[in-house]
Amino acid sequence: MAVIPKFVGERIKRREDPRLITGTGMYVDDVRLPGMLSAVVLRSPHAHAKINSIDLSKARALKGVVCVLSGDDLRDKVGPVPCVAPADHVPYHPVLAQGKVRFVGEGVAVAVASSPYIAQDALDLIDVDYDPLDAVVDPEKALEPGAPVLHEEFGNNSVTFASVPNPAVDEAMRKADKIIKARLVNQRLAPIPMEPRGAVARWDGGYKQLTVWSSTQIPHLLRSQLAEMLKVGENRIRVIAPEVGGGFGCKLNVYAEEALVAHLSMTLGKPVKWIERRRENFAGTTHGRDQITYLEVAALKDGTVTAVKAHFVCDMGAYLQLLTPAIPGFSGLMMTGCYKIPALSFDQQMVFTNKMSTDAYRGAGRPEACYIAERVMDMVAAEFGLDPADVRRKNFIPKEAFPAPTAGGLVYDSGDYELSLNKALEIVGYQKVRAEQEAARKQGRYIGIGIASYVEICGIGPSALLPPKLKGGGWESATIRMEPDCKVTVLTGVSPHGQGQETTFAQIVADELGIDIDDVNVVHGDTAVVQYGIGTFGSRGTTVGGPALMMSVGKLQEKMKKIASTMMEVPPDQLIFTNRTVALASDPSKSIPLQQVVDAAYGYKQPIPGVEPGLDATSFYEPQNCTFPFGTHVAVVEVDPETGVVKFLRYVAVDDCGRILSPLLVEGQVHGGIAQGIAQALYEEVVYDESGQLLTATLMDYAVPKAHMLPRYELSATVTPSPVNVLGVKGVGEAGTIGSTPCVVSAVMDALKPFGIRHIDMPLKPEKVWRAIRDAQQKG
Partner 1 sequence: MFPASFEYHRASSVKEALAMLQQYGEDGKILAGGHSLIPMMKLRLAQPAHLVDIGGIRQLASIREEGGKVIIGGLVTHHAVERSDVVRAKLGMLSECAAVIGDTQVRNRGTIGGSLAHADPAADYPAAVLALDGEIKIEGTGGSRVVKADDFFIDLMTTAVQPGEVLTEVAFAPVASGAGFTYLKHRQPASGFAMVGVAALLTLDKKGNCDRVRVGITGLGAKPFRAKAVEAALLGKAPAPAIAAAAAHAADGIDPLSDIHASADFRAELARVYTRRALETAAARAKA
Residues making contact with partner 1 (CB under 8 A): 40, 116-117, 119-121, 124, 277-279, 642-643, 645, 683, 687, 695-696, 699-706, 709, 765-767, 770-771
CB nearer to partner 1: pick between 106 and 685: 685
CB nearer to partner 1: pick between 646 and 670: 646
684 neighbors 675 (Cβ within 8 angstroms) = no
CB nearer to partner 1: pick between 261 and 634: 261
CA 15 → CA 146, 173, 275, 506, distances in Å?
A: 57, 54, 27, 9
3-state secondary structure 335-382: CCCCECCCEEEEEEEEEECCCCCECCCCCCCHHHHHHHHHHHHHHHHH
C-alpha torsion 238→241→242→244, nearest 10: 170
CB nearer to partner 1: pick between 57 and 643: 643
Q: Give the DSSP H or E segment for 54.
A: strand 49-55
Closest separation in Å from C-beta 463 to partner 1: 41
Residue 239 burial by Cβ neighbours in a 10 Å radius (0-12, 13-18, 19+):
buried
CB nearer to partner 1: pick between 573 and 642: 642
CB nearer to partner 1: pick between 40 and 327: 40
What CA–CA distance (Å, rounded) separates 139 from 147?
A: 10
Q: Are strands 343-352 and 404-405 parallel, antiparallel or unpaired?
A: unpaired
What CA–CA distance (Å, rounded) separates 246 from 229?
A: 25
Closest separation in Å from C-beta 774 to partner 1: 9
Closest separation in Å from C-beta 708 to partner 1: 9
Q: Which residues of 719-746 are buried (b: 16+ CB within 10 A; e: fewer)?
A: ebbbebbebbbbbbbbbbbbbbbbbbbb
Closest separation in Å from C-beta 120 to partner 1: 4
CB nearer to partner 1: pick between 605 and 708: 708
CB nearer to partner 1: pick between 667 and 685: 685
CB nearer to partner 1: pick between 400 and 642: 642
3-state secondary structure 609-625: CCCCCCCEEEEEECCCC
CB nearer to partner 1: pick between 190 and 334: 190
CB nearer to partner 1: pick between 588 and 766: 766
What CA–CA distance (Å, rounded) separates 314 from 761?
A: 16
> CB-based contacts of 361: which residues, under 8 Å, 6+ apart?
189, 191, 248, 249, 250, 286, 287, 288, 289
CA 264 → CA 79, 234, 680, distances in Å?
A: 14, 18, 38
Closest separation in Å from C-beta 257 to partner 1: 16
- Cα angle: 11, vertex 17, 22; to 5 degrees: 145
Closest separation in Å from C-beta 436 to partner 1: 24
Backbone angles phi, psi at 648, to 5 degrees: -85, 135
Closest separation in Å from C-beta 690 to partner 1: 13
Dihedral class, residue 773 (left if φ above 0, else alpha if ψ from -120 to 50, else beta): alpha
Closest separation in Å from C-beta 186 to partner 1: 19
3-state secondary structure 572-590: HHHEEEECCEEEECCEEEE
Closest separation in Å from C-beta 199 to partner 1: 17
Nearest to 298 by CA among 308, 288, 311, 285: 308
Closest separation in Å from C-beta 706 to partner 1: 7
Closest separation in Å from C-beta 443 to partner 1: 17
Closest separation in Å from C-beta 64 to partner 1: 11
CB nearer to partner 1: pick between 390 and 690: 690
